[in-house]
Amino acid sequence: MTDAFPTSAVLDGGLATQLEAMGHDLSSSLWSASVLRIDPAAITAAHRSFFDAGAQVATTATYQLTPDSLSRAGMPRADFAPLLTLAVAAARQARDEHGSGWVVGSVGPYGASRADGSEYTGAYDLPRGEEGQAILRAHHRERLVALIEAGVDALAVETLPTARELEAVVAELNSMGATTPTWFSFTPAPGGRTTRTGEPLADLAALAAAHPATLAVGVNCCPPEDVATALTELDPAAYELTGVAYPNSGETWDAVARQWRGEAQWDEGGVSDWRRAGATLIGGCCRVFPDQIARLPH
């Protein structure tokens, strides 16, 4: 049993990129979930490396794990439930070995299951209106239910590129009567003022707050330089929420070549600006490693 999930904590960094640094091949469309299938102990070790660096949270290896992503990778959809159970168990084991902390269930966006980079564009090619929303809700439903039933301490609905997906997940959680603390984080367009599909970030905190268990709103997998602007636009305190911030290194994902390009811009010195903009849940995303988490103000 763990304490209630906190409103202020040091988050982990990029699980998939830490696995790559440990020598694992993540070229599969399943990313960290591919390692989960063959070596769950490696997932535990990666989580543990972040705990040892000072993180207080392990975010599960379920970002791209859905029945649809398994099917696209040529694997049985029936493997979803046991793999998700393994993911939560791996994070919980690392937490227990460390002696403290929380396990947060990662809920990646619809585009993540397609492994085509569309989580960074919102170009989902879905029908408009209720038909498209029904597809998004059905896509997220099974993973949300499974993570909640597995007893995660919180949910991270992350890397959302568009307001319509936020609305779909909020509607689904509300229909379930979910009470697990939840944060919603967006990958904003360059500059940090809109979603990838052009909606003002200033409109999103109100949408997120329509779910009673929402704890925080914020950003992830964006350049560090955009974090403070994005949080200021979101203004979580206006909705009695806190802010969450876990940017990537500043490099850019090339979905065709399946590699990161550009130069890292990570600078822990910007954290004070993130805090002033409302962030109290702070960590890193892709290409942010344990040594960088260790340098975050604790």
- When pLDDT is cut at 50, 70 and 90, the band that residue 251 belongs to is low
Q: At 111, which CATH number? A: 3.20.20.330
- When pLDDT is cut at 50, 70 and 90, the band that residue 1 belongs to is very low
Q: Has residue 106 got a pLDDT over 80?
A: yes
Number of domains in the chain: 1
Closest by Cα among 205, 208, 285, 197 to 248: 285
Q: Is residue 3 part of a domain?
A: no
Q: Is residue 2 part of a domain?
A: no
pLDDT value, residue 265: 72
Specify binding-site residues: 221, 285-286
Of 251 and 240, the one with more pLDDT: 240
- When pLDDT is cut at 50, 70 and 90, the band that residue 117 belongs to is confident
Q: Is residue 4 part of a domain?
A: no
pLDDT value, residue 229: 97
pLDDT in tens, 132-160: 999 999 999 999 999 999 999 999 999 99
pLDDT value, residue 256: 64
Q: Is residue 14 part of a domain?
A: yes
Query: Is 41 exposed, middle or buried, given 0-12, 13-18 or 19+ CB atoms closer than 10 A?
Result: exposed
Q: Has residue 20 got a pLDDT over 70?
A: yes
Q: Has residue 262 got a pLDDT over 90?
A: no
d(CA 242, CA 166): 17
Predicted TM-score of the model (pTM): 0.95
How much is the mean pLDDT over the chain? 93
pLDDT in tens, 196-216: 999 999 999 999 999 999 999
Q: Is residue 160 part of a domain?
A: yes
For residue 219, give its domain range.
9-294
Q: Is residue 1 part of a domain?
A: no
Averaged pLDDT, 174-187: 98
pLDDT value, residue 104: 98
pLDDT value, residue 255: 60
pLDDT value, residue 124: 94
Averaged pLDDT, 252-260: 64
Specify binding-site residues for Zn(2+): 221, 285-286
Averaged pLDDT, 39-54: 97
- When pLDDT is cut at 50, 70 and 90, the band that residue 269 belongs to is confident
Q: Has residue 97 got a pLDDT over 60?
A: yes
